């Protein structure tokens, strides 16, 4: 598994890309309804917060199966 530091950086990068794409869409299509796009950006930011909390509170269990279950998003 990758380091926690790299995982956090990857999560931040992906969320930044999603939010930037949302703002780009809103700039390109000013007459469209922006509520669904704003909701998507907020969901991405909420997911980022949830994932970072999960990563920071993980105690580094020795069993890989336990670790996989811990990070399961379902």
Taking each continuous run of H as one helix and of E as one strand, the counts in the chain are: 3, 0
Cα(62)–Cα(51) distance, integer angstroms: 20
Per-residue confidence (pLDDT) for residue 1, from 0 to 100: 52
Q: Which residue has the tokens 């970072």?
A: 52
The structural domain count of the chain equals 1
Per-residue confidence (pLDDT) for residue 19, from 0 to 100: 96
Per-residue confidence (pLDDT) for residue 2, from 0 to 100: 62
Host domain of residue 8: 4-70
Q: End-to-end CA distance of the chain: give it in Å, rounded.
A: 20
Question: pLDDT tens per residue, the chain (74 residues)?
Answer: 567 888 899 999 999 999 999 999 999 999 999 999 999 999 999 999 998 988 888 776 677 777 777 777 55
pTM of the model: 0.77
Strands (DSSP E) along the chain, which ranges? none
């Amino acid at each position: 598994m990758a380091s926690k530091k790299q995982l956090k950086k990857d999560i931040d990068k992906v969320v930044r890309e999603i939010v930037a794409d949302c703002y780009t869409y809103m700039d390109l299509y000013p007459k469209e309804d922006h509520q669904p796009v704003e909701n998507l950006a907020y969901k991405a930011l909420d997911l980022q917060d949830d994932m970072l909390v999960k990563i920071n509170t993980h105690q580094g269990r020795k069993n890989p199966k336990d670790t996989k279950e811990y990070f399961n998003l379902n």
